[in-house]
Amino acid sequence: MVQDNLKLILKEVNEKRIIELTEKLISIPSHHGLNEPEKGIGKFIYNYLCEEGLDAELIPVAGSRCNVLAGYGSGKNNEKTLMLEGHMDTVDVKNMRIDPFKAIIKDGMIYGRGAADMKGALAAMISALVALKKRGVELNGRAYFAGVIDEEFWYRGAAYLAQNGPKTRYAIVGEPTGLDIHNGHRGLVWVEVKVKGKYAHGGTPELGINAIEKMNKIITEIKEVLYPKIINRTHPVTGPSYLNLGYIHGGTQPSTVAGECILQIDRRWVPGESQDSAVREIREIITGLVSKDPELSAEVSVMDYGLGIEFPPLVCEENSLLISVLKEGSIQITGREKISHFPAWTDGSILSRDGGIETAVLGPGNLESAHSDVEFCPVRDIINAAKIYIYSILRLCG
């Protein structure tokens, strides 16, 4: 029955319209730096869904910044529910070497800000529900499209879904995986280390305390002591732990002893660790150095800007029905399947941890292109993503 329905529904997949929709979404600025990044694109998606006869809502989440939600199916069986989730915001466009909103298609690729991250996926998800609606397929359960706000910063759109629903059984997040199946990823915490020294004239450095020199001690200890511990921690779904020294700034000018130095760290952690333990290890490194050097003074803080939020890992077991269905769909549509972990962080961990939704990541495009100065996505990926989403809805909601 699934195969018969799939063949019929795929006839409703208008490839030209999917790409036209992607072009339109790219053309609507939704990048951070705007006052209401998702306002224009959210309103467009809502109107598009309504015009296609789908039940759609604009749901205020943060002031006038709204999630867009649409559903299709009877909803008779709560166990047969699937959410297709994607974020409508993008990173800024200042670094781009191409017109971020022109959506040029060349050599099988579509270019523009959000092509890979993740307006191609949004177009594929919307088109999957539209195809089901056009064919009039009956579902015992219900399939949802959720376009959310604020993924690139504080995941407020996904947090709203996790708290307020819909409480689906399964979810697919459309981040760019090259259509590979990603059943997990690491947690994330950003840590800032601020070393306080003592300013003095560069001609009399003995009167000061050089914060850059003190920070160098901390960096050396992190590399020699903490790195070896972290790289040996791994998880079969998320992959290994990691620590990246991402940003450093110290001093004011060459002729002044640096009175302050700031280091910002990206720490990726796995199940078995926690945000608290990841931060604590950095503090312990510094405490050990301070005991040997009383002139070293450093503060460690989590860079959450006082919001008290966490970025947990995502784990979806490979033997789950969701992963099995994505394998089947990938083979049906692309002739291949590949399972791995997503190297970045996604809304999926919030849907999973706070919403209790079994979640995986699969979408068109590649992460290497996301946020880049020439962002692009393979056109064929977007079309095939729509077909895999349709197959998943039929299997999980039918």
Over residues 69-91, the pLDDT tens digits come to 999 998 888 899 999 999 999 99
- Predicted pLDDT at 10: 80
pLDDT tens profile 11-30: 778 899 999 999 999 999 99
Mention every residue, 6+ apart, whose C-beta is less than 8 A from residue 37: 29, 30, 31, 65, 88, 89, 90, 149
| Catalytic (active site) residue 276 | no
- Predicted pLDDT at 7: 77
Q: Is the pLDDT of residue 162 over 70?
A: yes
Structure tokens belonging to residue 66: 């709204």
- Predicted pLDDT at 264: 98
The catalytic residue among 151, 180, 347, 375 is 151
Percent of the chain having pLDDT more than 90?
92
* Confidence band, pLDDT 50/70/90 cuts, at residue 6: confident
| Catalytic (active site) residue 89 | yes
The catalytic residue among 89, 175, 273, 381 is 89
Q: Nearest CA to 22 among 363, 383, 264?
A: 383
- Predicted pLDDT at 13: 84
pLDDT tens profile 335-370: 999 999 999 999 999 999 999 999 999 999 999 999
Q: Using an 8 Å Cβ cutoff, are 105 and 362 in contact? A: no
* Confidence band, pLDDT 50/70/90 cuts, at residue 300: very high
Q: Is the pLDDT of residue 308 over 90?
A: no
- Predicted pLDDT at 1: 60
- For range 23-43, the mean pLDDT: 97
The Cα angle at residue 177 between residues 175 and 182, in degrees rounded to 5:
90
Please tell me whether residue 88 adopts helix, strand or coil conformation: coil
- For range 41-48, the mean pLDDT: 98
Q: What is the dihedral of CA 158, 163, 169, 174, to 10 degrees?
A: 0
CA-CA distance, 196 to 159, in Å (whole number)?
Answer: 37
- Predicted pLDDT at 306: 78
pLDDT tens profile 244-273: 999 999 999 999 999 999 999 999 999 999
Q: Is the pLDDT of residue 2 over 80?
A: no
